[in-house]
Chain A
Amino acid sequence: DAGITQSPRHKVTETGTPVTLRCHQTENHRYMYWYRQDPGHGLRLIHYSYGVKDTDKGEVSDGYSVSRSKTEDFLLTLESATSSQTSVYFCAISESKAGEETQYFGPGTRLLVL
């Protein structure tokens, strides 16, 4: 457990509505990540952050935005949710272990867009 929580854990929403997912960490990690996991695609990076107000895009960033105003919180926003964004969303942090950066995951958020 790397001290990561995600909220909400489950959400059902309708197409076209905005949705914000929250990732919270308690151990002052600099790097935070948002992934989505879908059958047949595995885990795919949406966005990541390397510090407060410092973010960068991953491979599937279209339709998503992020913000990090505090070290402990990394928010993922779907501005106008679509059915293709139905997925399981995982937040992760990066921690140095034996000289290597390794990623640890939060419990996930299951999002269903109707």
Chain B
Amino acid sequence: QKEVEQNSGPLSVPEGAIASLNCTYSDRGSQSFFWYRQYSGKSPELIMFIYSNGDKEDGRFTAQLNKASQYVSLLIRDSQPSDSATYLCAVTGSGGYQKVTFGTGTKLQVIP
């Protein structure tokens, strides 16, 4: 079982819709959770982090964390073609914040 799992996609949504990206993790001691966006040929860019159960909102992005279910998600409201990218979920394990484990990413396509 992978430590951090994401559906590879592609996830296709129409412009203006809500995109929902999901991630599960196996280490119950995980402390912090991150979402990165990566455009093709570019480096990952941090867009959200969350460490408490519940929702965290930043502009069109909402991260949701449920530690009991070991589940973290990212919602993108009013999706735009510029949101088309691969979204990486990352988790800091119980071994310390230096060791961050990444999922393989979900490719999102926003259709104009």
Contact = CB atoms under 8 A, between A and B. Distances in A.
Size class of the contact patch on chain A: 20 to 34
A90 interface: yes
Interface residues of B, number: 21
Interface in B31-76: 32, 34, 42-46, 49, 51
A100 B49 contact: yes
| Interface of A (DSSP majority class) | strand
Nearest to B43: A105
A40 B104 CA distance: 6
A94 interface: yes
A105 B34 contact: no
A45 interface: yes
Interface string A75-114: 0000000000000001000100100111111111000000
B98 A102 contact: no
Contacts of A107: 42-43
Nearest to A98: B49
Contacts of A31: 98
B99 A101 contact: no
5 contacts: A31-B98, A44-B102, A90-B44, A100-B51, A105-B43
